[in-house]
Chains A and B, each alone.
Chain A
Amino acid sequence: MSIAITTQFICFTVLSLVVIIGALGVVLLESIVYSAFLLGGVFMSVAGLYLLLNASFVAAAQVLVYVGAVNVLIIFAIMLVNKKEDLKPISDIKSRRVISTSICLTLLSLLIRVDLTNVWSLSSPENSIGEESTIRIGEHLFSDYLLPFEVASVLLLMAMIGAIVLARRDVMSKDISTGLPVDQELIEKSSEPLLTNKN
């Protein structure tokens, strides 16, 4: 990395602040649409952190896959299911909040303690391949990581078929039991919950 160290520090500080504050906004904001757009900002900042770590290929993949695919998918899901609904109040919500927050803070303090106290065996920067990382990733993917690479393609195919099977709406033209034609309009407008909550 040929950027001056001061510039690197400024970039790192800004990017990590955006990541942390954006992530807090994602989980705390009332409106789910704002959360989705903040999530896109968090993904972009994480890509910036990758650039600081000399990983241009992974940063590009992060922007393409997370911002371009996952975030857009989440926004589409919000548009499909975002109905204003009054959530049922939970009786013990206060104690739940307190317990989960304390668990998270304890985990955070433990992780930070490990981060700071452990002695990391850093390798010398002279061995660093720096900007050649894309070439090295390609070598890995087609030699020692060839099997995981191929399995990943099968996984993506399975996920695609699974998503289609799960999300499609099966509408038959005839009722199976009676043989009468099904009123398609009724299915489209059906708002009656099939499995209502009894309590």
Chain B
Amino acid sequence: MMNLESIPLQAFLIVSSALFCIGIWGLLNSRNAVRVLMSIELMLNAVNINLMAFSSYIDNNLIQGQVFTIFVITVAAAEAAVGLAILLSLYRNRVTVDMESFNLLKW
């Protein structure tokens, strides 16, 4: 079918686009707050795949994309820790993890 010397950049980009859209779908449709956090992690991973693919195909000498990926992984770890701590204190106050019941700030 194809006679290429390497995997095309577009293949990586399409995988990351699909992963990002699945993450958004999960973010919009989950009732469970833990699943919302998981969807955010999926979206961050999609962004990371994008950065890594670009750094390997377009900037393959300076690889600044890989440095950015390291920083994104750092921020994602911090975000997961704080997010789950917020989740625990929410659960302690409302005894549920249903996203529909967290409507205290809703007009």
Binding site for B on A (CB under 8 A): 5, 8-9, 12, 16, 19-20, 23-24, 26-27, 32, 35-36, 39, 42-43, 46, 49-50, 52-55, 57-58, 61-62, 65-66, 69-70, 73-74, 76-78, 80-81, 83, 85, 87-88, 90, 96-97, 100-101, 103-105, 107-108, 111-112, 115-116, 120-123, 125, 127-129, 133, 136-137, 140-141, 145, 148, 152, 155-156, 158-160, 162-164, 166-167, 169, 191, 193-197
Contact = CB atoms under 8 A, between A and B. Distances in A.
B45 A43 contact: yes
B98 A85 contact: yes
B29 A27 contact: yes
A61 B73 contact: yes
A65 B25 contact: no
Contact of A125 (B12, B60, B75): B60
Given A111-B13, A111-B20, A127-B60, 8 more contacts: A27-B35, A49-B15, A65-B74, A78-B34, A80-B91, A88-B101, A123-B58, A140-B67
Contacts of B74: 65, 152, 155-156
A100 B20 CA distance: 14
Contacts, number: 250
Contacts of A52: 7
A101 B25 contact: yes
Interface in B1-44: 4-7, 9-15, 17-26, 28-32, 34-35, 37-39, 41-42
Contact of A73 (B12, B35, B49, B81): B81
B82 A162 contact: yes
A167 B25 contact: no
A70 B76 contact: yes
A39 B41 contact: yes
B52 A108 contact: no
Contacts of B21: 104-105, 107-108, 111
A70 B80 contact: yes
27 contacts: A24-B22, A26-B35, A27-B23, A32-B32, A35-B38, A36-B34, A46-B45, A49-B49, A50-B52, A55-B66, A61-B73, A62-B73, A69-B80, A74-B37, A77-B37, A96-B29, A100-B29, A115-B10, A115-B14, A120-B9, A122-B9, A122-B57, A123-B58, A127-B61, A136-B63, A140-B67, A197-B101
B12 to A, nearest CB: 7
Contacts of A158: 78
Contacts of A24: 22
Nearest to A134: B66
Given A163-B85, A193-B94, A26 B38 contact: yes
Contacts of A195: 93-94, 104
A36 B35 CA distance: 8
B24 A107 contact: yes
Nearest to A20: B18
